[in-house]
Amino acid sequence: MKTQLKHPATIGSLLLCTAVACSGALAQNALRPDLEGVWTNASLTNLTRRPGMESLVVSAEEAAAIAGALPTGGVEGGFDDGDGVNNTPAVGADDFGARAYNQFWVDPGSNLALVKGEYRTSYIIDPENGQVPRLENPTTDFQRTSFGSRYVTGIGNADGPEALPIGERCILSEGRAGPAMQSGLYNNTYQFVQTDDYVMIDIEQMHDARIIPIFSSAIEARANRRPAVLQQYMGDSVGWYEDGALVVETINVNPLQMQQSSTAITRNGKVTERFTRYSDTEIVYRFTVEDSDLYSQPWTAELSFHAIDGQLYEYACHEGNYSMPGTLAGARRLEAEQ
């Protein structure tokens, strides 16, 4: 049976709601949670549990002690020399890219993730060890690209624009945009807008907008998938309400995004997200990653979005417009000198 996607004209009115309050905001009921508002998931918790941490849940005192000892951006201390500005690290040093020259730009949160009143040491809750259960020998030729060394040293491949990570090219904020929306060093604010037919999530970082069509059931949602040839950034997401939660199922994510993702899936995998309104000020967000080509078992992570009294401001990702020509020109100059 041929299915028809929802009318695109609805999207225009949906996006308008990001600029003005939607007067027709939908009330919460037993089936559908009210997710509208501005939220943050900022925290110092990682997706995986750090070495030496055995327990998923710690006390408030333990959480404060852990947070106070954590490095920022993977580098120990050194942010503030007393005047709010760092000494300039040496090019190629292991703190070159990770230390902000001015701490104003870095805002990862001040404590571990708080979920349903519990401080968590990892987002992953299953497996119990808090680690991603990656296969030692994947059944696919999928290759994940890590830019961690490039980030902390400032040194990396500059053969051409495609050698730079998609975040640096201002294409997508992979870790924030989803599927699987996690916190980062800054810009951890989100706006949720609901209508009868769509949920839109506007991500502060680069203003990526997830526009998720909503259907009456999982069966109807899956019947309205896009053609498989359309491998879009953020994937093919469809949603429905179930037991007081918004359920979003995503497949067929652009491979370039997945190669740089901590929640990667192949064309055979899927990510299932659940958004539940836990309280007036908290949305509990749980996602499960399933892909037998990459993982030995499905794995699940959980974090929370907390309400904030504010709004999303413009995020202009100018680095890709100005820094990229300089990066590539500098690389060509070094090649010529060598």
Average pLDDT over every residue of 242-265: 95
Please give the share of the chain, as a percent, with pLDDT higher than 90: 57
**Is the residue at 261 inside a domain?**
yes
**Is the residue at 264 inside a domain?**
yes
CATH code (residue 266): 2.40.128.20
Candidate from 79-93, 99-113, 123-137, 294-308 with smallest mean pLDDT:
79-93
Q: pLDDT tens for residues 193-238?
A: 999 999 999 999 988 899 999 999 999 999 999 999 999 999 999 9
Q: How far is CA 10 from CA 27, 86, 211, 305, in A?
A: 19, 48, 11, 26
Domain containing residue 241: 27-42+137-337
Task: Read off the pLDDT band of 316 (50, 70, 90).
Answer: confident
pTM comes to 0.84
**Is the residue at 148 inside a domain?**
yes
Task: Read off the pLDDT band of 94 (50, 70, 90).
Answer: low
**Is the residue at 77 inside a domain?**
no
Q: Among 174, 49, 177, which Cα is nearest to 119's?
A: 49
Task: Read off the pLDDT band of 1 (50, 70, 90).
Answer: very low
Q: pLDDT tens for residues 24-66?
A: 334 456 689 999 999 999 999 999 999 999 999 999 999 999 9
Average pLDDT over every residue of 261-277: 95
Provide the number of structural domains found in the chain: 1
pLDDT at 101: 52
Task: Read off the pLDDT band of 325 (50, 70, 90).
Answer: confident
Sequence-distant (6+) residues with CB within 8 A of 256 are 166
**Is the residue at 80 inside a domain?**
no
**Is the residue at 88 inside a domain?**
no
pLDDT at 170: 86
**Is the residue at 191 inside a domain?**
yes
**Is the residue at 13 inside a domain?**
no
